[in-house]
Amino acid sequence: MSRRGAAPAALARTEASALVVASHGRHSLIETDDGRRLIAHPRGKKNQAVVGDRVHWVATGDEASIEGLQTRRNLFYRQDEIRTKSFAANLDRVLILLAAEPEFSESQLARALVACEAERIVPIIALNKRDLGEAFARAWQRLAPYRAMGYAVLGLSLAPKVPGSAPSGLDELVNALRGQHTLVLGPSGTGKSTLINRLVPEAQAETGEISQALNSGKHTTTDTRWYWAPSLDGEGQRGALIDSPGFQEFGLHHIEATRLAECMPDMRQHLGQCRFYNCTHLHEPGCAVLAQCGTHEGEGWPPGRISDRRHRIYAQLFEELSRQRW
């Protein structure tokens, strides 16, 4: 491997600090403070690391043993009835990349945003394929309630199909991500690979190095990877992108149903105003949330209003999270 991946000829058995930049199963690739990259294995089940973790490690031959995890600021993950999938830890931002076509799932968007809110991670929504005209306009209008909630929603055209058109919106996105450690999340077909390759030109070659190091073979698309992105460097902190698998399934079973409204900003602003202290915001009389639900025609979205679509998603999630857990 290159300097980043080369193992030192000899390492003293002293505990040091490192960053987890990739993982596959119980194997991790760590980057030491002086830029070396080593294969690492956890000591015991409690030391299972995810990308973005800072870990304590000691040398074991030409590899490393992870002795412990440093305290996490946050952990972005999903959980269904069967398993938990951790994406990354210690994030500054989550970039949720959508596209005008194919039509994005608002339910999946809402789930990702709830997961961000639960971990107090700032999300950014980017809508790609701005060059598609009417399709983009329809998708942009669907995102009006999210702009009204205060979320940053940016328009992009990463690979325009119109002859002579140049990519657009990238400068604004770069400014939003500068100096941040950002997880890039999005379903297939949204341009995630295109975006990462534009911001990290060496990403494809680096992915091959990482796959070879972890011996992950054909499983490369299912693993989360950390890429330093010099184009995103800011004052005092290097910029980084964390590439993740798609999110066709996004369970939220780690969040209690009674906490759900707190993780949805359009509903959160009305909490404490209902007639009943234990209001579920589904059918109760005197519910301040239900009083604000409705539709809206035209540009923008009225402050304080909750879209009917958003409330239907809330009701579906509330029912899902209220099922008895074994």
CATH number for the domain including 301? Answer: 1.10.40
Q: Are residues 132 and 216 in the same domain?
A: yes
Q: Are residues 27 and 146 in the same domain?
A: no
User: Cβ neighbours of residue 164 under 8 Å, at least 6 residues apart?
Assistant: none
Report if residue 8 sits inside a domain: no
Q: Angle between the 203-214 and 192-199 helix axes, to the nearest 10 degrees?
A: 100
Report if residue 232 sits inside a domain: yes
Taking the C-alpha atoms of residue 308 and residue 290, their distance in angstroms, rounded to an integer, is 9
Task: Name the domain boundary from 182, 213, 243.
Answer: 243
Q: Collect the ranges in the chain with pLDDT lower than 50.
A: 1-12, 205, 216-221
Report if residue 225 sits inside a domain: yes
Q: Are residues 173 and 302 in the same domain?
A: no
CATH of the domain at 205: 3.40.50.300
Q: Are residues 119 and 24 in the same domain?
A: no
pTM: predicted TM-score of the whole model, two decimal places: 0.88
pLDDT digits (tens, 9 = 90+) for 71-86: 999 999 988 877 888 8
Taking the C-alpha atoms of residue 139 and residue 321, their distance in angstroms, rounded to an integer, is 28
Domain encompassing residue 33: 16-69
124 phi and psi, to 5 degrees? -130, 130
Please give the pLDDT value at position 93: 98
Contact 255, 273 (CB under 8 A): no
Q: Are residues 65 and 80 in the same domain?
A: no
Please give the pLDDT value at position 220: 44
Q: Are residues 238 and 272 in the same domain?
A: no
The token duo for 101 is 């076509």
Report if residue 64 sits inside a domain: yes
Give the max Cα distance, the chain: 71
Please give the pLDDT value at position 215: 59
Q: How many residues would you count in the chain?
A: 326
Taking the C-alpha atoms of residue 154 and residue 96, their distance in angstroms, rounded to an integer, is 10
Taking the C-alpha atoms of residue 50 and residue 226, their distance in angstroms, rounded to an integer, is 11
Q: Are residues 149 and 165 in the same domain?
A: yes
- For 125-164, letters b (16+ CB in 10 Å) and e give bbbbbbbbeebbeebeebbbbbebbebbbbbbbbebeeee
Report if residue 187 sits inside a domain: yes
pLDDT digits (tens, 9 = 90+) for 161-202: 666 666 789 999 999 999 999 999 988 889 998 999 999 988
19 phi and psi, to 5 degrees? -105, 135
Strand partners, 69: 55
Taking the C-alpha atoms of residue 50 and residue 56, their distance in angstroms, rounded to an integer, is 13
Q: Are residues 207 and 120 in the same domain?
A: yes
Report if residue 231 sits inside a domain: yes
Task: Name the domain boundary from 243, 273, 298.
Answer: 243
Nearest to 325 by CA among 252, 272, 259: 252
Q: Are residues 144 and 91 in the same domain?
A: yes
Q: Looking at the chain, list the stretches that DSSP marks H as alpha helix, in order from N- to C-terminal side.
A: 106-119, 134-142, 144-148, 170-177, 192-199, 203-214, 265-268, 308-322
User: Cβ neighbours of residue 173 under 8 Å, at least 6 residues apart?
Assistant: 95, 124, 126, 154, 156
Report if residue 4 sits inside a domain: no
Q: Are residues 90 and 200 in the same domain?
A: yes
How would you classify the pairing of strands 75-79 and 63-69?
A: unpaired
Whether the link from the prior residue into 167 is cis, omega within 30° of 0, is no
Q: Are residues 173 and 102 in the same domain?
A: yes
Report if residue 86 sits inside a domain: yes
Taking the C-alpha atoms of residue 244 and residue 252, their distance in angstroms, rounded to an integer, is 17
Task: Name the domain boundary from 69, 93, 113.
Answer: 69
Contact 206, 31 (CB under 8 A): no
Q: Are residues 45 and 79 in the same domain?
A: no
CATH of the domain at 55: 2.40.50.140
Please give the pLDDT value at position 14: 59
* Count: domains in the chain: 3
